[in-house]
Chain A
Amino acid sequence: MVLITERPVLDAAPEPVALPYRRLPPERVAATLTIVALLVVSIVSLVDVNISIPSMLDSWSNAVRFFDRVGVVSFPPLDELLYLTAFTVSLVLCGTLLAAVLSVPVAYISAANTTPGPLWRGVGRFVGVFTRAIPDVVLAMVFVLMFSLGSLPGILAIGIHSVGMISKMFADAIEQVDDGPRLAIRAAGGSKLQEFSSGVLPQVLPSWVATVLHRNDINLRGSVILGYVGVAGLGAEMAHAFKSLDYSLGLGIAIVVFALCVAMEIVSSAVRTSMLGTRPTGGRLGDRLVRLALANRQPPTTAPVGSGDAVENALRRPWTRERVRTVVWGWTAVAVIIGSVLICDISWGDFLTLWSYLPSIAASFWPPSFGNYDAAILVSAMLETIAIALAATVLTLIVSMVIGSLAARNIAPNGRVRGAMRLLLVCIRGVPEIILAIVLIVVTGLGTQAGTLALAFGGIGLLGKLIADSFEEVKPGPERALTAAGATRIQVYAGATVPQGMKALLGHSFYLLDTNIRAATILGIVGGGGVGYYLLNAGQGSKYDLVTSIVLLIFVTVLLVEGLAMWMRRVFR
């Protein structure tokens, strides 16, 4: 045996190889430059907002003094509190449900594979973008004018605003279905409507329900702000408490809303998982009911094959676990919906009386005008809103990269870290931004700083989760290859995980910017700086032509961001 004493070293290439010139498509260059520019502007805005550690410490001592002054947090009387809670939840449920129903036809005409024609598709998409771009607060302002005070303005505002997001997600789901079953129904002579109801709907139903539940969470959080423009419920009580400087009551209601949001998040995620999963194994309420129902009702054994009355036997559907579960969930849902409608006590008569004063209301909104303000003031307020959104987005991005990465299974050093980070993200997601903003404003005073911090904090819950999920979804091959080549954890992260997740990261960031711009306009209403302040003033001062101009301003901005995001998605596909 020959001992090899020295390993032969692979020589470098004998001749230096000229690096090939890498030609990038110009559109890609432009998109990259745009991203860089956005980043620069965001960082400049962040500096402008002037979030500094000393000032935060300063506001911390403010907070301590403030809470000393507030004393004990107080709540409304229990029966009133319970009624308000039930009312708010019912209102949000009815609104979301209305949106879900309205979204079906919109999604049908917007989806490429079901639309009757390109013109219809254009109409559907316009409705989607339009309803998404108009904040629900503005809609609520309008509806409060049109209807008597009650649940209806809130339901309609939530219902119409949510059509944008829900119909888009519905349409995406429709476009992803397998077309085969539809074709089979067409081949059997089914009509278009039947193709949709029997071939498409069953395939998209789980994703639709998930979308609606997700939107319901968002709407519950957003319902607080509707109180500021006169929609009844917990939000209105809170707004009233803060306006009358009853901080202890205001904070008490804020705590209730927070708890409610967390509870709703837990319920909806439980429903989602139990719908996606096949078997009820958990100890959740619904599953317990199912087991209870099954305990005294054993499913009959299947009918013997080939026997004469196999058909007659098969006509009676056996009470399998699955069926019991479906029935229990179904009736629970129906009961919840009926209960919500009853609690909301909708004054249907308003739909009849509405038409008489509709023209005068329409006239007060049109034509748009800038009122007593200079156009420049409103534009600069809008720019301030955009700056808040950008600063908040970049702040969120930095923090979420750390938390989100550590919450990903393939990056976290161990399960405990991952679990802790996931829990942290859930907790952050539970905090409604508005509540956070209100508390921050109460503590640190009016201004952009509070708005930015509130948005940035709330965004971490969303972006962190999205980042963690996308990083967990990357292909494990490259990571293993780098690990096998002796790379350290951080090298694997930088060399394999992040590059693969980059596209998703970009998409998520733009999504966040999009939601942040909408949210930033609303934050102004509670005093978080930007154009929202003017919006609220105009609404309360009955200067509806001014409301129209501000809404148009917001509309244009949202459309611009949406267009930018679409362009980015196309270029970096």
Chain B
Amino acid sequence: MTSTPLIRVDGVTKKFGTTTALRNVALSVEQGEVVVLLGLSGSGKSTLLRHLNGLELPTRGRVSVLGEEVSNLSGRRLRALRSRVGFVFQSFELVPSLTVLENVLTGALATIRGPRFGLWGYSTALKRTALGHLDRVGLAHLAYQRSDTLSGGQQQRVAIARALIQNPEILLADEPVASLDPESSDSIMALLREIAADAGLTVVCSLHQVDLALSWGDRIVGLRHGEVVLDTPTADLSKAEVMEIYGRVATSTRELEAIATELTVAEVLGDGETDVYEILADALDDTIVGAAPGNSADADYAPRNSPQWS
């Protein structure tokens, strides 16, 4: 790594009261990278993302984004940094009673001074830009509808347009498709990827579905219990490595068993020649060792699952 990374997280620990959300996390993201933060709920993905635009401040450690030390910023300078970083939320977070267009325009508030009440508060030039972004996500025809009359997928498109009007250099997305049905999920993820490629955006996106993360990101960073347990490019991953990823992000044997069952079905229905059980047994072993050190007498988990299909 010769160039300065766009995002650099160094030894960040975050505590909320007595619970530790992040534990000594290190991460660096280069210009133009598309990184997926992978982990189950409660693994610290959202907390980490919120550190990247100063919505949370670390208890310990340093976060630097776009060459600025986030902890040192406040007031206008913090807002200036935030305006250069787009954020897409899991539950869209549109203002329900405002029109779609006005929701998009709220993304540009950092570039204008003072409050705005209603559409007439924004300049025509800004409205034109907003409509352009709405057109980009395919919703210009709904510009004057109340945002709460839209479907989930459409609302997330509006939220993406709201992030785009910031003309961001980095796009952060916190579980952007977790509240959507599979079909809208696919189109939203494709849209994000397209936009990122078009604008040369750096993207950090948190997800909890391994298969989606594998097909979508350039690089996966796995989190478990607030710790980085995995950091790997997705290209040329072998099946065994994929299994390993499943093993790493899971937090309990029950989750792992569920994943194993699903995978087994896939494998058996597919070619059925891979030595799935062995890998799974290893993965299980890892998890259990990780969860309760010193007790590794669990090798009999895989056999208990196997007879059904073998």
Contact = CB atoms under 8 A, between A and B. Distances in A.
Interface string A286-313: 0000000000000000110110001110
Contact of A188 (B87, B128, B135, B141): B87
Nearest to B110: A189
A311 B106 CA distance: 18
A180 interface: yes
- Residue among B82, B84, B109 facing the most chain A CB atoms (10 A cut-off): B109
A199 B95 CA distance: 6
Nearest to B141: A302
B110 A311 contact: no
B277 interface: no
A185 B53 contact: no
Contacts of B106: 184-185, 188, 190, 194, 198-199
Contacts of A196: 115
Nearest to A318: B144
B110 A197 contact: no
A533 B117 CA distance: 48
Given A198-B109, A315-B128, A188 B83 contact: yes
A188 B131 contact: no
Contacts of A201: 117
Contacts of B94: 181, 184
A198 B82 contact: no
B9 interface: no
A184 B82 CA distance: 11
A119 interface: no
Contact of A203 (B86, B97, B135): B97
Contacts of A183: 55, 89, 93
Given A187-B82, A190-B79, A310-B135, A202 B95 contact: yes
A198 B115 contact: yes
Contact of B82 (A189, A310, A315): A189
Contact of B55 (A180, A187, A190, A199): A187
A323 to B, nearest CB: 7
Contacts of B79: 189-191
B87 A185 contact: no
A188 B95 contact: no
B134 A184 contact: no
Interface stretch (B159-167, B188-196, B202-210, B254-262): B159-167
B169 to A, nearest CB: 13
B55 A186 contact: yes
A188 B55 contact: no
B93 A181 contact: yes
A54 B17 CA distance: 68
A315 B115 contact: no
A315 B102 CA distance: 12
Interface in A299-353: 302-303, 305-306, 310-312, 314-315, 317-318, 320, 323
Contact of A202 (B97, B107, B110): B97
A189 B109 contact: yes
Given A188-B87, A202-B95, A197 B127 contact: no
A287 B257 CA distance: 61
Contacts of A122: none
A305 B141 contact: yes
B138 interface: yes
Nearest to B143: A314
A181 B148 CA distance: 12
Contact of A193 (B96, B101, B115): B115
B26 interface: no
B114 interface: yes
B119 interface: yes
A206 interface: yes
A311 B128 contact: yes
Contacts of A318: 144
B82 A317 contact: no
Nearest to A191: B79
A309 to B, nearest CB: 10
Interface string B68-88: 000000000001111111110
B131 A315 contact: yes
Given A188-B106, A188-B109, A189-B110, A180 B144 contact: no
Nearest to A308: B135
B60 interface: no
A205 interface: yes
Interface string A415-450: 000000000000000000000000000000000000
B32 interface: no
B132 A188 contact: no
Given A180-B93, A189-B80, A189-B82, A315 B127 contact: yes
Nearest to A197: B115
A190 B110 contact: yes
Contact of B116 (A187, A194, A311): A194
Given A311-B140, A315-B131, A188 B166 contact: yes
A569 B23 CA distance: 42
B230 interface: no
Contacts of B18: none
A319 B117 CA distance: 20
A317 B87 contact: no
B139 to A, nearest CB: 9
B95 A198 contact: yes
Contacts of B85: 187
B310 interface: no
A311 B102 CA distance: 15
A315 B93 CA distance: 24
Nearest to B50: A187
Nearest to B91: A180
Given A188-B162, A189-B109, A194-B116, A202 B98 contact: yes
Contact of A187 (B53, B119, B127): B53
A187 B159 CA distance: 12
A203 B143 contact: no
Contacts of B143: 314, 317
A184 B162 contact: yes
A187 B163 CA distance: 9
Interface in A163-192: 178, 180-181, 183-191
Contact of A317 (B86, B138, B144): B144
A184 B87 contact: yes
B124 interface: yes
A320 B109 contact: no
Given A184-B93, A202-B97, A311 B132 contact: yes
- The 9 lowest CB-CB distance pairs between A and B, nearest first, are A189-B110, A197-B115, A189-B83, A180-B93, A189-B82, A187-B87, A184-B93, A190-B109, A189-B79
Given A184-B106, A198-B98, A317-B144, 19 more contacts: A183-B55, A183-B93, A184-B162, A187-B53, A188-B109, A189-B83, A189-B110, A193-B115, A194-B106, A194-B114, A194-B116, A196-B115, A198-B95, A198-B109, A202-B98, A206-B97, A303-B140, A310-B131, A315-B127
Interface of A: 178, 180-181, 183-191, 193-194, 196-199, 201-203, 205-206, 302-303, 305-306, 310-312, 314-315, 317-318, 320, 323
15 contacts: A184-B93, A188-B86, A189-B79, A198-B102, A199-B95, A202-B97, A203-B95, A203-B97, A310-B141, A314-B134, A314-B140, A314-B141, A314-B143, A315-B124, A317-B119
